[in-house]
Amino acid sequence: MMRRIELARGRRLSRDDVPRSGGIDSEVLGVAQRIIDDVRERGDAALRDYSEQFDHAVLGDIAVSENEIAEALAAVGEDFKHAIAQAAVAIEDFHRRQVPQSWFTTDEGGVFLGQKVTPLERVGIYVPGGRACYPSSVLMNAIPAVVAGVEEIAMAVPPGPDGRVNPYTLVAAVEAGVEEIYKVGGAQAIAAFAYGTASIRRVDKITGPGNAYVTAAKKLVMGDVGIDMLAGPSEVLVLADETAEPLLVAIDLMAQAEHDPRAATYLVTTDPSLPDEVEFAIGELLKDSPRAEVIRRSLEDNGVVVVCSDIDVALDAANEIAPEHLEVQMADPLELLGSIRNAGAIFLGPWTPESVGDYVAGPNHVLPTGGTARFSSPLCVDDFVKKSSVLSYSLDGLAFDGSTVMTIALAEGLEAHARAVSVRLAIAYGADEDIDEKEADE
């Protein structure tokens, strides 16, 4: 079912071994650009037209009303409310540990330096919706923003054909403290967040995953507005040895594959007998799976088994793939943590399925995909703040550093930079400017 690769010491995985499908198709980019241009020109009218075209929903008000939220709270059972509250507490606790602090320092020469941390004023979070619902995505995007101190959080979610938002999504928004919710999805929602309409004010940054058109739109508006990342298909890598239970490996691969036919699944193992056992277990589990067809297609199209000669080769393979989710189902998984360089989230041991990270553990489930874990991090509080450098020089401090500034400025041919120092020193000390005019001309 899954494609197999054998790796001996001395051979490394290549990009051809594990092709990624995370790129944005040029046709999708073109469609997204046309939608963005239309929303910029026609505003709310375009949002309504696209909701009818793509979501089959005829919208009145674009914003979710207080009455709709009250109806959602009444429609959802207490078990769900308790679960979403429990998850919210864990997510908030984890992210509060990430809050960056401003800092300042003064040296003996009277130079005051520091860094000022300021929350973003207004952010837009995108939550997939329509026929599906992802209340966990509401929590993962909104709670770090709340913890960071963001003043205004707007949420966009596609409506169902009835023009309403799934009640589970609305209840999660209430739990997270989101009060501004819009029934808009797709590239049109990203355009509204980036440029504003009569109903939706523009934001400073957009976060949250979506389909290919949402991702394309985020790419196109980046620079006019901040974004978190360009999310591709979801992926998991299970790193396993002979101690791994085949049934647990199988169900964890399936749990990722059920997201989407484009989802990527990797089994990297030092046990040559494990892949057959895992595939047998998958076959048995698929018999009563309601998403069997999606899972089967995902595993066949994007599933890869890498059989490695030893643990070092296996770790190299895992780091080369740089997966979104990395499960370590090996003896003494904690001892291997230091050797794992590239992963969005790391799950250690057989009792830590990726699904606990999706919902209740606390770490964010908005993670780098497509190998970008080599240089990117999960969504976090840092994504909702900005940092400003702070500088204040005394006269003595300027006098001490002034000659260094002038030397470098003149070497770069920036004479006014040098004079910004020399003029100040001349005024302070009542002397002529001490700057080499010949060197400045050169």
What distances in angstroms separate CA 80 from CA 63, 169, 367, one per listed residue? 24, 11, 25
Catalytic residue status for 180: no
Q: Are 278 and 244 a contacting pair, CB within 8 Å?
A: no
Q: Do β-strands 3-7 and 103-106 pair in parallel, antiparallel, or remain unpaired?
A: unpaired
DSSP state of 63: B
Nearest to 282 by CA among 247, 314, 255: 247
Q: What is the per-residue pLDDT for 438?
A: 42
- CATH superfamily, region 26-101+125-229: Nitrogenase molybdenum iron protein domain (3.40.50.1980)
- According to DSSP, the residues that pair with 307 across neighbouring strands are 6, 269
DSSP per-residue codes, 203-224 = -SEEE----HHHHHHHHHHBTT
Q: Are 257 and 294 a contacting pair, CB within 8 Å?
A: yes
Contacts (Cβ under 8 Å, ≥6 apart) of 299: 1, 2, 253, 254, 257, 265, 282
Q: What is the per-residue pLDDT for 131?
A: 63
Locate 381 and state its tokens: 């509080």
Return d(Cα 220, Cα 78) in angstroms, integer. Answer: 41
Q: What is the per-residue pLDDT for 434?
A: 64
DSSP state of 93: H
What distances in angstroms separate CA 326 from CA 31, 34, 177, 237, 352, one per listed residue? 34, 37, 31, 5, 11
Contacts (Cβ under 8 Å, ≥6 apart) of 241: 269, 270, 271, 311, 329, 330, 331
* pLDDT bracket for residue 85 (50, 70, 90): very high
What number is the average pLDDT over the span 66-72? Answer: 97
Q: Are 321 and 371 a contacting pair, CB within 8 Å?
A: yes
| CATH number for the domain running over 232-375 | 3.40.50.1980
Return d(Cα 307, Cα 90) in angstroms, integer. Answer: 37
Return d(Cα 91, Cα 111) in angstroms, integer. Answer: 40
Q: What is the per-residue pLDDT for 220?
A: 98
Mean per-residue pLDDT over the chain, rounded: 94
What number is the average pLDDT over the span 126-131? Answer: 84
Does residue 129 carry a pLDDT above 90? no
Q: What is the per-residue pLDDT for 435?
A: 60
What number is the average pLDDT over the span 306-316? Answer: 96
Q: What is the per-residue pLDDT for 296?
A: 96
Catalytic-role residue among 175, 320, 324, 415? 324
N-to-C CA span, the chain: 69
What number is the average pLDDT over the span 381-407? Answer: 97
Does residue 440 carry a pLDDT above 50? no
Nearest to 43 by CA among 197, 205, 265: 197
pLDDT tens figures, 220-235: 999 999 999 998 899 9
Q: What percent of the chain has pLDDT over 70?
A: 97
Does residue 180 carry a pLDDT above 90? yes
Half-sphere exposure of 152 (CA within 13 A, CB side): 13
Does residue 441 carry a pLDDT above 50? no
Catalytic residue status for 324: yes
pLDDT tens figures, 186-202: 999 999 999 999 999 99
Place of tokens 């707007």: 154
| Range of lowest pLDDT (24-28, 273-277, 339-343, 430-434) | 430-434
Q: Are 267 and 254 a contacting pair, CB within 8 Å?
A: no
Nearest to 274 by CA among 226, 314, 235, 301: 314
Q: What is the per-residue pLDDT for 145?
A: 98
Catalytic-role residue among 235, 279, 320, 325? 325
Q: What is the per-residue pLDDT for 309?
A: 95
pLDDT tens figures, 331-387: 999 999 999 999 999 999 999 999 999 999 999 999 999 999 999 999 999 999 999
Cα dihedral 321/325/329/330 (nearest 10):
50
Return d(Cα 133, Cα 131) in angstroms, integer. Answer: 7
Does residue 134 carry a pLDDT above 80? yes
* pLDDT bracket for residue 23 (50, 70, 90): confident
Q: What is the per-residue pLDDT for 21?
A: 64
